[in-house]
């Protein structure tokens, strides 16, 4: 017989894996919704809002210590209306209340614990609280009693404090430049100087521990290098990419990047793997390959895509999953670490010594007595040190990795959050499309097309609007600005990989909807939430580029490109006006504006408009495309049609083939150079 859980709360009816993890807590949890909010209003009881996500290690810790503790749960149930939120499902709530916690405590993170008035205004908050006083933090019961006492006995003071904080949050979430400033490359130079001032010249990256992957900063540095010719920008990007890829931050056996490094040198990661990190980093590595022709970057990017297809992709339905947990068997990192004796048993004594030295697998370990694989010395230098041929060394390492990976597959894997988010699928589509362009691997293109089709069918409402999330047969929650802008960007990338015009048609439809739903009718720019969303205490117009690009940044990205493809100057102008709103942000906070700066670079360049008329299966057409995709040309759009194909795309209109051969046109602002069928001539035109 199966054990029946002692407790079951309202979260049992949710689809989010994170919420379901808490469905058998003794806490009387509610999901965010009318039932909970009306109860708080009716009883005039404060709300305890807990926000986290399924792969969050400290979220699991707080659940085990407090939310599964019947005595602590009883305090929660007595004093508060308790609401649990998955930050990945509700990024709007996460942004508002994380800003509140940061304003109150000068720090933030997850799990996030915020106390709200019945009308949803925050008045106290923090992150992880232990069950009793520990780590210099007050115990959770002590915090709750103090908060409830303040709410009941200093009610007017609490309400005044909550109102003042809410006004501050509205100001924080709408930091747009009141002056219409000219966008110049001085912004890019100033941003580069700030990146350089924070650069770690020994280990790459920016600042000290913990170190997060600068997923948008690296593409900006590559663009600044191209724009200015400053070799230091390329060196900074390359050192960071190499150190991340050789560190424990990167899964040396299975591919893919962990969330961040807890130390300065990218050795010990926080072991969760997020779809959005990997989607953005593959683009950075592919662009580094284009800029340098160093195949190391191409290998890391393709290994990461292969990891995503293996672990994070629904091959039957289409769609990419959200996260893999940091923990397995309730132990952080257990799945990923090794001991020398294990390696010797698996690959044999002779090669184990070389393998362990190369990947720093030692008896004392580098993480809680065991070893995270990482590379201290590149293989060419290591081979010389051993007096060994590099190819022989690479063969030993590859064989060892394959055997250890096969053995690791027998272990209990970290938990998988298998919900499919529209936004994160959009950025993964973009990465997969680029992978297909550079490698010709049809698996990447097939995954793109299947994922895009899944969003268009399963994550689209009857009224044409998008849903945010899908899991367990259910699509729900209205999509946010980031869902539209990321997915439109993915559709544009997919068109430029497949040249199927239906993807551009869908991008056009969704762009119209994005402007209608999220555009500010009384001003410029875009709101985080749209007309179809519920009203919250803050209507944000933030463009902060954090772990993921802001919805506004990617709206600018998508508008600039789809406007050129479809000859929609009004969309281009809207993108420019929106970018100008964030002049001050780019000026004073460039490291929080990485995607905005990439769009500024696109705008200040003269983007190449490339048209190819040729049969997709023709060798000459393939040669032209291969030459194009091998170059570092981040500021371009590409269109293709076959000679017999009817097209309505402006860039392809009235462009015949020469001598019945695949023909390339290179244009700028719809003024084209003389067409060519010669690959070398084509590359000269692109240069």
| Domains defined for the chain, CATH in brackets | 10-172 (3.40.30.10), 185-329+417-604 (1.50.10.10), 334-413 (no CATH), 608-686 (3.40.30)
Buried b (16+ CB within 10 A) or exposed e, 426-449: bbbbbbbbbbbbbbebebbbebbb
Predicted TM-score (pTM) of the model is 0.96
As separate numbers, helices (DSSP H) first and strands (DSSP E) second, the chain gives: 26, 19
Amino acid 176: pLDDT: 74
Looking at the chain, the whole-number percentage of residues with pLDDT higher than 90 is 93
Average pLDDT score over the chain: 96
Q: How far apart are CA 6 and CA 213, in angstroms?
A: 42
**Can you tell me which residue has the tokens 């970057």?**
297
What lies within 8 Å, CB to CB, of 674 at 6+ separation is none
Q: How far apart are CA 524 and CA 172, in angstroms?
A: 17
Q: In this structure, are strands 420-421 and 467-471 parallel, antiparallel, or unpaired?
A: antiparallel
Which residue, 314, 299, 291, 315, is CA-closest to 235?
291
Q: Indicate whether 374 pLDDT > 90.
A: yes
DSSP-assigned letter for residue 120: S
Tokens, residue 381 = 């230098």
Amino acid 57: pLDDT: 87
- pLDDT by residue (tens digit) across 209-265? 999 999 999 999 999 999 999 999 999 999 999 999 999 999 999 999 999 999 999
Q: Once rounded to an integer, what is the mean pLDDT over residues 618-638? A: 97
Q: How far apart are CA 309 and CA 137, in angstroms?
A: 41
Q: Indicate whether 328 pLDDT > 50.
A: yes
Q: How far apart are CA 161 and CA 157, in angstroms?
A: 6
Tokens, residue 147 = 């908060």
Q: Once rounded to an integer, what is the mean pLDDT over residues 36-44? A: 97
Q: How far apart are CA 109 and CA 426, in angstroms?
A: 25
Q: Indicate whether 1 pLDDT > 50.
A: no
Q: Indicate whether 330 pLDDT > 90.
A: no
Q: Once rounded to an integer, what is the mean pLDDT over residues 322-328? A: 93
Amino acid 587: pLDDT: 93
In sequence order, the β-bridge partners of residue 86 are 52
Q: DSSP string spanning 345-367?
A: HHH-HHHHHHHHHHHT--SS-SB
- pLDDT by residue (tens digit) across 478-528? 999 999 999 999 999 999 999 999 999 999 999 999 999 999 988 889 999
Amino acid 180: pLDDT: 66
Amino acid 172: pLDDT: 83
What lies within 8 Å, CB to CB, of 629 at 6+ separation is 290, 437, 438
Contact 494, 449 (CB under 8 A): yes
Tokens, residue 477 = 């929650």
Amino acid 4: pLDDT: 85
Q: How far apart are CA 675 and CA 620, in angstroms?
A: 14
**Can you tell me which residue has the tokens 């690296």?**
218
């Amino acid at each position: 017989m199966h054990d029946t859980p002692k407790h079951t709360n309202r979260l049992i009816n949710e689809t989010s894996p994170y919420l379901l993890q808490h469905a058998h807590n003794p806490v009387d949890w509610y999901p965010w919704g009318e039932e909970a909010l009306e109860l708080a209003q009716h009883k005039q009881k404060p709300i305890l809002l807990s926000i986290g996500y399924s792969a969050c290690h400290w979220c699991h810790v707080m659940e085990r210590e407090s939310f599964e503790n019947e005595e602590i749960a009883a305090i929660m149930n007595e004093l508060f209306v308790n609401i649990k939120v998955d930050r990945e499902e509700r990024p709007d709530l996460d942004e508002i209340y994380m800003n509140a916690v940061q304003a109150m405590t000068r720090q933030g993170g997850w799990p996030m614990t915020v106390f709200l008035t019945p009308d949803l205004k925050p008045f106290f908050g923090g992150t992880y609280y232990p069950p009793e006083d520990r780590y210099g933090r007050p115990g959770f019961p002590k915090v709750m009693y103090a908060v409830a006492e303040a709410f009941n006995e200093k009610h007017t003071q609490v309400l005044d404090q909550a109102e003042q904080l809410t006004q501050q949050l509205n100001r924080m979430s709408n930091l747009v430049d009141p002056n219409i400033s000219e966008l110049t490359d001085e912004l890019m130079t100033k941003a580069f100087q700030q990146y350089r001032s924070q650069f770690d010249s020994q280990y790459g990256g920016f600042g000290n521990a913990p170190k997060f992957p600068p997923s948008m900063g690296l593409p900006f540095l590559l663009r600044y290098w191209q724009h200015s010719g400053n070799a230091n920008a390329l060196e900074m990007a390359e050192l960071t990419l190499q150190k991340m890829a050789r560190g424990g931050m990167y899964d040396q056996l299975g591919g893919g990047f962990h969330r961040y490094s807890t130390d300065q040198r990218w050795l010990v990661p926080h072991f969760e793997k997020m779809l959005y990190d990997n989607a953005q980093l593959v683009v950075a590595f592919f662009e580094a390959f284009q800029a340098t022709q160093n195949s190391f970057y191409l290998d890391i990017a393709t290994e990461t895509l292969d990891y995503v297809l293996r672990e994070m992709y629904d091959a039957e339905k289409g769609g990419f999953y959200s996260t893999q947990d940091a923990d397995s068997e309730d132990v952080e990192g257990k799945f990923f670490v090794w001991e020398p004796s294990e390696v010797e048993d698996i690959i044999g004594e002779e090669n184990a010594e070389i393998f362990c030295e190369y990947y720093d697998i030692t008896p004392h370990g580098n993480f809680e007595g065991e070893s995270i694989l990482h590379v201290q010395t590149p293989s060419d230098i290591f081979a010389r040190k051993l007096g060994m041929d590099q190819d022989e060394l690479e063969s030993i390492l590859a064989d060892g990795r394959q055997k250890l990976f096969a053995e690791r597959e027998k272990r209990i894997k970290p938990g998988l959050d298998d919900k499919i988010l529209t936004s994160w699928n959009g950025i993964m589509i973009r990465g997969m499309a680029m992978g297909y362009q550079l490698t010709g691997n049809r698996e990447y293109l097939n995954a793109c097309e299947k994922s895009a089709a899944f969003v268009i069918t399963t994550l689209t409402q009857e009224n044409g609007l998008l849903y945010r999330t899908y899991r367990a047969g259910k699509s729900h929650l209205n999509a946010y600005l980031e869902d539209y802008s990321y997915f439109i960007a993915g559709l544009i990338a997919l068109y430029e990989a497949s040249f199927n015009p239906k993807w551009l048609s869908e991008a056009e439809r969704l762009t119209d909807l994005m402007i209608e739903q999220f555009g500010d009718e009384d001003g410029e720019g875009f709101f985080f939430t749209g007309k179809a969303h519920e009203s919250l205490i803050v209507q944000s117009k933030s463009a902060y580029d954090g772990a993921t690009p802001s919805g506004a940044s990617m709206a600018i990205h998508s508008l600039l490109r789809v406007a050129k493809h479809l000859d929609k100057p009004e969309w281009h102008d809207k993108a420019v006006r929106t970018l100008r709103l964030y002049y001050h942000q780019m000026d004073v906070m460039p490291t929080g504006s990485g995607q905005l700066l990439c769009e500024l670079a696109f705008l200040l360049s003269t983007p190449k408009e490339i048209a190819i008329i040729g049969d997709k299966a023709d060798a000459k057409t393939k040669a032209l495309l291969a030459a194009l995709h091998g170059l570092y040309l981040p500021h371009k759009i590409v269109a293709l049609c076959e000679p017999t194909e009817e097209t309505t795309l402006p860039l392809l209109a009235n462009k015949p083939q020469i001598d019945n051969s695949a023909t390339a046109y290179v244009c700028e602002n719809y003024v084209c150079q003389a067409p060519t069928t010669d690959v070398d001539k084509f590359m000269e035109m692109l240069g």
